[in-house]
């Protein structure tokens, strides 16, 4: 049985770079069981999840982060949502991704919610023939305005992000590209082994010169509920022109796009919930 996935935070010996390591094998395993995607679609979904989940290391307590790709060429829609408790959910909609695309053209949308604030941070980045690794690097530099690089392992469901820490007034600027180049081979060696045991992971990184700072469990968990589905039906009925119930039918089945849980909603459910709004 696979151990629960973890996001580990390390710092290098010179305290110039933080390193976030995602051991994501259980996370990807759970997504495989939930989403029925063609090989190419799931390959792209996997790469995106392993990239985006590293962003959890940059979230402050209580924040909620949403990452959306609206790709027009090839056509697909991808959603990933996560919070600082390590809970995430994601989905990809596509009918024809038999092969994972090398590049995409479309948009990436970011929404970040803050505790005790009704106004989220929102950002949109246009994409034209951009690869998945480059998408995340653009998000980091353009939306987060930080100096970071992401690398996804081809050998295991693991990934790393090297993040340049803020410099003090007397420090010289660090070269992120040079650090990334020097670190990538030893980090790739670690990920090629597919370690899941925490003690073994910590030792492997310490042997490469990184000090362990913190860890956070990461798991696929959807927050959907029957009440939430009923509320969505009520909102749709107020804005749409279609009746979701077929003629002569008093029940509909709605399926969560993230976790695929099916909910039976009756007209009585709608009526009783609608009365609560008055």
**Is the separation of the CB atoms in 79 and 91 below 8 Å?**
yes
**Is the separation of the CB atoms in 230 and 236 below 8 Å?**
no
- Average pLDDT of span 69-85: 95
Least confident piece of the model among 2-6, 34-38, 236-240: 236-240
- Average pLDDT of span 241-265: 85
Q: What is the pLDDT of residue 174?
A: 72
How much is the CA Rg of the chain, to the nearest whole Å? 21
Residue ranges and CATH numbers for the domains of the chain are: 5-220 (3.55.30.10), 226-276 (3.90.1280)
Task: State pLDDT tens for residues 162-206.
Answer: 999 886 666 666 788 888 889 899 999 999 999 999 999 999 999
How many angstroms separate the CA atoms of 45 and 62, rounded? 26
- Nearest Cα neighbor of 161 from 18, 14, 13, 63 is 18
- Nearest Cα neighbor of 164 from 151, 180, 152 is 180
How many angstroms separate the CA atoms of 242 and 56, rounded? 39
Q: What is the pLDDT of residue 117?
A: 87
- Average pLDDT of span 83-103: 90
Q: What is the pLDDT of residue 268?
A: 87
Output 82 or 39, whichever has higher pLDDT. Answer: 82
Residues 6+ apart with CB under 8 A from 39: 98, 99, 100
Angle value at C-alpha 39, between 96 and 140, nearest 5 degrees = 90
Give the CA-trace dihedral at 45, 47, 52, 57, to 10 degrees. 140
Q: What is the pLDDT of residue 276?
A: 60
**Is the separation of the CB atoms in 144 and 56 below 8 Å?**
no
Task: State pLDDT tens for residues 31-61.
Answer: 988 888 888 888 999 999 999 999 999 999 9
Any bridge partners for residue 125, and if so which?
108
Task: State pLDDT tens for residues 99-153.
Answer: 889 999 999 999 999 998 889 999 999 999 999 878 988 999 888 888 899 999 9
How many angstroms separate the CA atoms of 45 and 269, rounded? 35
| Max Cα distance, the chain (Å) | 76
Give the pLDDT band (50/70/90) at residue 98: confident
**Is the separation of the CB atoms in 180 and 195 below 8 Å?**
no
- Nearest Cα neighbor of 11 from 189, 242, 191, 214 is 214
Instruction: Enter the tokens of residue 52.
Output: 């985006």
Q: What is the pTM of this model?
A: 0.88
How many angstroms separate the CA atoms of 89 and 72, rounded? 23
DSSP 166-182: PPPTTSPPP-HHHHHHH
């Amino acid at each position: 049985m696979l151990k629960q996935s973890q996001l580990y935070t390390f710092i290098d010996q010179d305290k110039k770079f933080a390193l976030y390591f995602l051991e994501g094998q259980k996370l990807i395993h759970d997504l495989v069981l939930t989403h029925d995607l063609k090989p190419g679609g799931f390959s792209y979904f996997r790469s995106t999840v392993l990239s985006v989940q590293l962003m959890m290391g940059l979230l402050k307590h209580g924040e909620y982060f949403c990452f959306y790709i609206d790709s027009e060429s090839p056509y697909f829609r991808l959603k990933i949502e996560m919070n600082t408790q390590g809970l995430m959910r994601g989905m990809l909609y596509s009918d024809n991704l038999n092969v994972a695309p090398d590049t995409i053209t479309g948009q990436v949308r970011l929404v970040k919610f803050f505790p005790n604030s009704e106004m989220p941070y929102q950002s949109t980045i246009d994409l034209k023939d951009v690869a998945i690794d480059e998408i995340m690097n653009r998000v980091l530099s353009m939306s987060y305005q930080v100096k970071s690089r992401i690398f996804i392992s081809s050998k295991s469901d693991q990934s790393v992000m090297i993040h340049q820490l803020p410099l003090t007034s007397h420090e010289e600027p660090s070269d992120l590209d040079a650090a990334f180049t020097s670190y990538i081979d030893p980090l790739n060696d670690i990920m090629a082994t597919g370690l899941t045991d925490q003690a073994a992971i910590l030792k492997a990184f310490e042997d490469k010169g990184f000090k362990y700072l913190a860890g956070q469990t990461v798991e696929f968990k959807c927050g959907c509920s029957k009440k939430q589905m009923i509320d969505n039906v009520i909102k749709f009925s107020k804005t749409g022109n279609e009746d979701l119930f077929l003629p002569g039918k008093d029940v509909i089945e709605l399926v969560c796009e993230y976790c695929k849980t099916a909910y039976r909603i009756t007209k009585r459910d709608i009526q009783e919930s609608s009365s609560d709004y008055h």
